[in-house]
Each structure stands twice: as structure tokens, then as C-alpha cells.
Amino acid sequence: MLSFRSLRSGSSGNLLLLESRTPRTRTRVLIDCGLRSQRECCRILEAEVGLDDPLDGIVISHAHGDHINYAALRVLSRLRVPIHAHRHTARQISARALNPYRLPASVDPREIRFQRFDDEPFAIGSFTFEPLPVPHAPGVTTHAFLIREGGHKLLVASDFNDPEAVVPHAYDCDFIYVESNHDLELLRRHFNPASLFHLSNPAAGLLLQHALERSRRPPRAVMLAHLSEDRNHPEIALATVREALGRYGARLPLLTAPRYAASRPVVVAE
């Protein structure tokens, strides 16, 4: 079985779980872990992920604190979870979250050991991750990921502002997790310049429309992610994207990732 679950999604913290199970093997990988404290991180990992079996790794999309931070890095290191980050992202995390001038004198940033990747695909257990550079905030290296496992293909793309960066990779995916950050009218009423670095609801709909037009079959499900708390609402995001999809929307299971709770598991393959 191949499954996906969003455990947290949004500017208050992001945490995703990929799991593949066969009668003989099991691979569990996190994508991002931007929880605000070590206590919260331990609580959610124990309650939502389960720590009786080891995690095979975590893959980090970029260095912003709602996707990775010092508290999460400390917990993951204690659990001996391999931490995979692009070489530029690892350097930016070290500058942001592991700045020795901001940490207590008793903390040694060298305790956090990264497994650095470049632009080539890399494997974690039964998963193969292909890093996809995407435009986000200036000076912050950011990646979406095309993930393959057992003939299946998943796209995880959050925190970017150009649909063209990922459209070609969304063709024939079995599952798509894509940012749908803000409603344009709510952004006009409650403007936040940071929202310009994120994908709007109409842009997410356009991305999915182009992907479906060029796909031989629709995905098993699509999950809209990283919804703004003040400039979006699940019902608005779903309605806007369905309208953009037109006739394709009727045959597409469309979900939203909860901000402060776990989604139900999405079974990508039995």
C-alpha cells in the first residue's frame, strides 16, 4: 500500500508523511517538519506518525521556519532520522536555524548532520525523489518533489508562485499535493506582501487544468495545501479550483489540507 497524509499545512507549520508497505518491507518518509517547539514536535510525531518503527528519513523543501527549524532538527536528530536537504538549503538552514550566535552556548550546530542532495534524483527506501527547483522568496532555495514508488508517481509542490515551474511534472500523477494559498479578493482586503511568493487559488486551478488536459488519466486525488488563515478558506479554494477545472473537476477527488490537524490518509495505491 502507498499512502500520503498531511499532518500540518500552512504558515503555522508543515509536516507531511509518505508511507509504503508491502508484506516484507515498510518505508516511511517525512516531508518538512516546521513545528514550533520540541514538545509539540514530539507530541505530533508520537500521536500521528508513531515512533515504534523508525522513520527512514525527512526531505526538506526549503529553509523557512514553518518547514524546518531548530526545534524540529533537534528532535529529528535525537530520533536518528536522516535529514535530506539540498546543499544550498542545508547551508541556509545552518545560517537561519542553526546560527551559533543565536543559540545557547551549550548547543553545537555540528550535531545536526545533513545528507545533502543536488539536482539529481535520490532514493530513500522504496521512494525515489526528483528535486524540482521552484521560485519562492528571494534568496531562498526551494524545491518541489516528484516522487516515484513502484510504478506510481506523486507530486508535492508547496511554497512557490509560478504554475509553469511544475506543470510538466504533474502529467499522469497518481496524487498531487499543491499549494492553493490565497483568494485574490481576500488578499486585496487583507494585503500581505509575503502572499506574492505563494500560489493563488486561480493559479492552482490553472496548473491542475493544464495537467489534466495533458494526462491520460486523472490522479487518484488532489490535495490543496498551505491555505492562508486570513486570506483563504477551504470552501473558497475548492470552489475556485473546481471552476477552473471545468469538466475535469467532476471526476477529480479534491481535498484541502487542514491547518492544525491531520488529514485522512490518501491511499494512492492498494
Q: Which residue ranges make up each domain of the chain?
A: 2-269
Contact residues for 31 (Cβ-Cβ < 8 A; gap 6+)? 15, 16, 17, 18, 58, 59, 60, 61, 145, 156
**pLDDT at 107 exceeding the cut of 60:** no
Instruction: Identify the pLDDT of residue 119.
Output: 94
How many other C-beta atoms can be found within 10 angstroms of the C-beta atom of residue 254?
17
**Residue 134, C-alpha cell as written in the block:** 521552484
Instruction: Identify the pLDDT of residue 98.
Output: 73
**pLDDT at 182 exceeding the cut of 90:** yes
- The dihedrals phi and psi of 90, each to the nearest 5 degrees, come to -60, -40
3-state helix, strand, coil in the chain (%, to 5): 30, 30, 40
CB-count exposure of residue 104 (10 Å: 0-12, 13-18, 19+) = exposed
What is the C-alpha R_g of the chain?
18
| 61-75, 124-138, 198-212, 239-253: least confident range | 239-253
* pTM for this prediction: 0.95
* pLDDT tens per residue across span 220-269: 999 999 999 999 999 999 999 999 999 877 778 999 999 999 999 999 99
For cell 484541502, name the residue. 256
**pLDDT at 101 exceeding the cut of 80:** no
Q: Are 128 and 164 a contacting pair, CB within 8 Å?
A: no
Residue 237, classed as helix, strand or coil, is helix
- The dihedrals phi and psi of 183, each to the nearest 5 degrees, come to -90, 135
Q: What residues pair up with 29 in beta bridges, in sequence order? A: 18, 57
* pLDDT tens per residue across span 110-136: 678 899 999 999 999 999 999 999 999
Query: How would you classify the pairing of strands 83-86 and 114-117?
Result: parallel
DSSP string, 114-128: EEEE-SS-EEETTEE
Contact residues for 79 (Cβ-Cβ < 8 A; gap 6+)? 45, 51, 54, 55
Residue length, the chain? 270
**pLDDT at 8 exceeding the cut of 80:** yes
What is the DSSP-derived secondary structure letter of residue 263? P
The three-point CA angle 82-177-117 to 5° equals 30
Percent of the chain with pLDDT over 70: 95
Q: Are 125 and 132 a contacting pair, CB within 8 Å?
A: no
* pLDDT tens per residue across span 143-168: 999 999 999 999 999 999 999 999 99
Within 13 Å, how many C-alpha atoms sit on residue 267's CB side?
A: 4
The listed CATH number (3.60.15.10, 2.30.42.10, 2.40.37.10, 3.60.110.10) that belongs to domain 2-269: 3.60.15.10
